[in-house]
Amino acid sequence: MHTGESLNSHGARRHSHVIIDLDALKYNYRYLKQAAGGNRLIAVVKADAYGHGATRVAQALAAEADAFAVATVGEAVALREAGIAQKLLVLGGFVNAGELQACIDLALDPVLHHAFHLECLYDSRGLNDLDVWLKIDSGMGRLGFPVDQGHGIIHALGNLDTLGSIRLMTHLANADDVESTLTEAQLERIRKLDLDRYEWAIANSAGILGWPDAHHLWVRAGIALYGADPMSDRGQTPRELRPVMTMKSKVLAINPHARGDTIGYGATYTCERDMTIAVVATGYADGYPRHKVDTARVEINGQLCAVIGRVSMDMITVDISDVERVAVGDEVTLFGERPHVNELADCSDTISYEVLCNVGAHAQRKYLG
């Protein structure tokens, strides 16, 4: 009898899969904790831990993480149900009174960034010592209260006798650019508030790696936790981060092509010589980026090979003319230790965050460590 089950691109039916190295994850946490001067490190596990699996990531870090952060109350509830006991920040705050009650019941720390949040707190019958984070917009222009409202809001919150601790945070808009003047301007706005008596969370991954002045008791690690360096100078200043996700697939076919043959949709690639082309079982249905502004590479039998032609839904084509002994079924590394996800992202005119989230959402995950 037909069950109606969807044969989509998720899970074990596809050749593409990802390996999640939990030992590398734990190494990165310790490395970032040290880079932050020993300050309290919040592990950001929103968007299913950037495609790595939020529950498994949080469980792997449960023995040492100072706190976790997610985007939504729903994400936080799922982690509580999975047994995660640490402080849990909800970066997007709550969107209705029901979500506020979930924060109260489950001891979730909502981020307050809108007048609506204050109104809900004032209307609540009891907050049960709920800890909150007041977000100040120091220059991101997205979420947060204007800098000049900070003191007044803190004073008003102090009148809520069932409220727990009030902590402060902001978000750095351009910390990945080591030559930017915006980050220093944001930090100066925070200094002028003269609210150092409160615990702050200012630094994101780039702030941890590039801006020591942003280390202020609490820091938040997102992309760097998963082994991707966000800094603009990463080519000149290598950092000891380890890739957590490796994407692999298999060779489907090996075909000889003559000089002048065209490859793939749109005939966008023309063979400049007689070539041997491998067809690899991965594509945009697996989260592999379709947009390619430069030549990406994959690793086959220890050698890096250029991806040529357009990326298809289920396949890419790879130049293996100079690689010996490639056979159908051989393993292919799309990204990991080599090539790095940053390299693929650069070739695709995107960022590692997007690649990891997309691939991790599609591929079957296999965990190590």
Facing residues of 169 across strands?
135, 201
* pLDDT for 295: 87
CA distance 137 to 150: 10
Q: What DSSP character marks residue 265? A: G
* Stretches in the chain below the pLDDT threshold 50: 1-4
Closest alpha carbon to 49 in 32, 29, 31, 63: 29
CA distance 14 to 74: 29
In the three-class reduction of DSSP (H, G, I as helix; E, B as strand; rest coil), residue 206 is classed as helix
Closest alpha carbon to 10 in 2, 21, 18: 18
- Measured from the Cβ of residue 180, the count of other Cβ atoms closer than 10 Å reads 18
* pLDDT for 236: 80
* pLDDT for 36: 97
Closest alpha carbon to 79 in 53, 42, 97, 40: 53
- Measured from the Cβ of residue 165, the count of other Cβ atoms closer than 10 Å reads 12
Spatial contact of 226 and 25, defined as CB atoms under 8 Å apart: yes
Considering the candidates 26, 31, 33, 46, report the single residue annotated as catalytic. 46
Name, in order, each residue with C-beta under 8 angstroms of 19's C-beta and a sequence gap of 6 or more: 245, 246, 248, 336, 365, 366, 367, 368
Tokens 């409202």 correspond to what residue? Answer: 149
* pLDDT for 8: 55
Q: Which fold has domain 36-226?
A: TIM Barrel (3.20.20)
- Annotated active-site residue 46? The verdict is yes
* pLDDT for 149: 97
Residue 297 has which token pair? Answer: 């590479």
- Annotated active-site residue 367? The verdict is no
Tokens 């190590």 correspond to what residue? Answer: 368
Question: For domain 245-368, which architecture applies?
Answer: Beta Barrel (2.40)
φ/ψ of residue 332, rounded to 5 = -125, 130
Q: What DSSP character marks residue 149? A: G
Residue 141 has which token pair? Answer: 């222009």
CA distance 59 to 2: 37
Q: What does pTM read for this prediction?
A: 0.94
* pLDDT for 359: 96
Sequence letter at residue 88: L
* pLDDT for 5: 54
Measured distance between the N- and C-terminal CA atoms of the chain, rounded to whole angstroms: 40
Q: Where are the alpha helices (DSSP H) in the chain?
A: 22-35, 46-51, 54-61, 73-81, 97-106, 115-123, 150-157, 182-193, 205-210, 341-347, 352-362
* pLDDT for 11: 64
User: CA separation (Å) from 23 to 60, 79, 208, 361?
Assistant: 9, 20, 21, 21
Torsion from C-alpha of 299, 23, 201, 153, nearest 10 degrees: 100
Write the DSSP assignment of 22-89 as a string of letters.
HHHHHHHHHHHHHHTTT-EEEEE-HHHHHHT-HHHHHHHHTTT-SEEEESSHHHHHHHHHTT--SEEE
φ/ψ of residue 26, rounded to 5 = -65, -40
Domain residue spans of the chain:
36-226, 245-368
Task: List pLDDT tens digits, range 274-327.
Answer: 999 999 999 999 999 999 878 899 999 999 999 999 999 999 999 999 998 999
CA distance 223 to 142: 19
